[in-house]
Amino acid sequence: MTDKARILVIENEPAVLMMVVSRLTQAGCDVEAAWNAQAGMQKARTGDFDLITLEIDLPGMNGFEMCRRLKGNSRLSDTPVVFVSWRDSFEDQQQGLELGAADYITKPFEMTDFIFRIISNAKPKDNSDPVQVPEGAVA
């Protein structure tokens, strides 16, 4: 197995999607992207990811429902989900965490903190040591 974190980014805003994919790739991650819930679910079901980032306001299905489905799938239930959303209310954050999300990051975010939190939450599929943040990846 590679030591690169495999991340699935599900984000409906093209500028945010491009920026996040670019920065995670620069940080040494293997990144795939989806811009809606349907494409995200398909990739999640067929891929083998260490972490999934998930926007709440997605076309086709909201991120809370998508998280429920991911956590209800026996193959995907242990994959960490991190919500990344403009929604900054306590209730939304609480709901996301109660659904089993590992973290909840509100936009706008500071990129160094974002990269660190994503990589820190990534869980290797073989249950070996946690994925490490590459030296210089968050500078």
Question: Does residue 12 sit within a domain?
Answer: yes
**How far apart are the C-alpha atoms of 41 and 88, rounded to whole Å?**
24
Domain at 87, CATH number: 3.40.50.2300
Q: In DSSP terms, which residues pair with 53 in a beta bridge? A: 9, 82
* Residue 1: predicted pLDDT: 45
pLDDT, tens only, 33-62: 999 999 999 999 999 999 999 999 999 899
Number of domains in the chain: 1
With beta carbons less than 8 A apart as the criterion, state whether 24 and 118 touch.
yes
DSSP one-letter string for 57-99: S-SSS-HHHHHHHHHHSTTTTTS-EEEEES---HHHHHHHHHT
Query: 21 lies in which domain range?
Result: 6-121
Question: Does residue 59 sit within a domain?
Answer: yes
Question: Does residue 110 sit within a domain?
Answer: yes
Report pTM.
0.87
**How far apart are the C-alpha atoms of 122 and 132, rounded to whole Å?**
9
Q: Average pLDDT, stretch 18-47?
A: 96
Question: Does residue 135 sit within a domain?
Answer: no
Question: Does residue 68 sit within a domain?
Answer: yes
